[in-house]
Amino acid sequence: MTRKRVAVLISGRGSNMAALVEAARAPGFPGEIVAVMSDRADAAGLETARAERIAAVAVPRKDFSDKAAHEAAMIAAIEASGADLVCLAGYMRLLTAGFVDHFAGRMINIHPSLLPLFPGLDTHRRAIEAGVRIHGATVHFVTFEMDGGPIIAQAAVPVEPDDTPDSLSARVLAAEHRLYPQALAMVLRGEVAMDGSRAVFSTRS
């Protein structure tokens, strides 16, 4: 089995990246994490990746004159890693249509809500304020519509009456760490693919 090559883009802590790295170490996982890139030089996840002996590079936004130049450098770094697939894992920068098109069907993201509920930021506080009893996380293909691409997999957690945004965030994050490796494996095995605005699933017997 040839293991597909995966690059992970982060902006901060990198706990989802670490979960992907750990899962990909298991025998039989259909891919390997070959590189981690960050748009911030101070992203803690870069050190985590290096400690795991994974190539980790910062491509700081402030080193480039504009967004187009920064994205071109990001694309070059991803291509240099030989990645077949890109995982956004807490990458907190909006992408241009050019970047999204470049990796169409080959880039996935994890978002801390049950999309299409609560796209954008501050999802846990918004879920509590909305009074939902179920919250969770979503892995989806990345399209130009922010947090709007075809859904690959979701995990649900309960919202408890005494939850704060922090307590709910911790419960969702634990679910994210289980969900993202499962969703990545589905994509790498070809069990789900993006077809326009839809995710198409194939079951293998």
Which residue of 30, 112, 150, 181 would you call a contact of ligand GAR, by CB under 6 A?
112
Task: Enumerate the active-site residues.
Answer: 111
Provide the β-strand partners of residue 87: 8, 108
Instruction: Specify the pairing of strand 192-195 against strand 198-201.
Output: antiparallel
Which residue of 3, 12, 22, 174 would you call a contact of ligand GAR, by CB under 6 A?
12
Of 204, 136, 198, nearest to 173 by C-alpha is 136
Residue whose Cβ sits closest to ligand GAR:
90
Of 106, 128, 131, 123, nearest to 176 by C-alpha is 123
Q: Considering the rule CB under 6 A, would residue 149 count as an interface residue with ligand GAR?
A: no
Largest CA distance in the chain: 51
Q: Considering the rule CB under 6 A, would residue 10 count as an interface residue with ligand GAR?
A: yes
Q: Considering the rule CB under 6 A, would residue 110 count as an interface residue with ligand GAR?
A: yes
- Rounded Cα distance between 71 and 95, Å, is 8
Q: Considering the rule CB under 6 A, would residue 89 count as an interface residue with ligand GAR?
A: yes
- Site residues, ligand GAR (CB under 6 A): 10, 12-16, 45, 89-90, 110-112, 173, 176
